[in-house]
Amino acid sequence: MTSLAPPALRRSSTEASTGGRSGSVSWLAVPAFLMFVAFGIVPLIGVLVLSFTQWDGIGDIHPAGFDSWRTVLSDPALVHALWVTFLIMALSWAFQTPLSLLIGVYLATQTRYREILAVIYFVPLLLSSAALAITYKALLDPNFGLGAGLGIPLLQQDWLGRDNLALGVLVFVVSWQFIPFHSLIYQSGVRQIPKAMYEAAEIDGAGRLRQFFSITLPQLKYTIITSSTLMVVGSLTFFDLIFVLTGGGPGDATRALALDMYKRGFQANLMGPASAIAVILVLVGLALALLLRRLGGKDASESQMEGV
DSSP per-residue string spanning 180-223: HHHHHHHHHHHHHS-HHHHHHHHHTT--HHHHIIIIIHHHTHHH
Applying CB under 8 A, the residues found at the interface with another protein are: 16, 20, 23-24, 27-28, 30-31, 34-35, 38, 56-60, 137, 140-144, 158-161, 166, 246-247, 249-252, 263-264, 266-270
Please, what is the minimum distance in Å from the beta carbon of residue 272 to another protein? 11
Residue closer to another protein (CB basis): 182 or 263: 263
Asked if 100 and 107 count as a contact pair (C-beta separation under 8 A), the reply is: no
* Residue 237 neighbours by CB under 8 Å, 6+ apart: 258, 281, 285
Nearby residues of 5 by Cβ (< 8 Å), 6 or more positions away:
none
CB of 131 to another protein, least distance (A): 14
Minimum distance, C-beta of residue 179 to another protein, in the bound complex (Å): 25
One-letter amino acid of 308: V
Q: Residue 30 or residue 126: which is nearer to another protein going by CB?
A: 30
Q: What share of the chain is helix, strand, coil (3-state, %, to 5)?
A: 75, 0, 25
The nearer residue to another protein, 57 or 218, going by C-beta atoms, is 57
SS3 at position 63: strand
CB 140 within 8 A of CB 159: yes
In the complex, least distance from residue 161 CB atom to another protein, rounded to whole angstroms: 4
Nearest approach in angstroms of CB 27 to another protein is 4
In whole angstroms, how close is the CB of 66 to another protein at the nearest point? 19
Residue closer to another protein by CB (options 148, 308) is: 148
In the complex with another protein, the residue whose CB is nearer, 213 or 266, is 266
Q: Which is nearer to another protein, 170 or 220 (CB)?
A: 170
Measured from the Cβ of residue 200, the count of other Cβ atoms closer than 10 Å reads 13
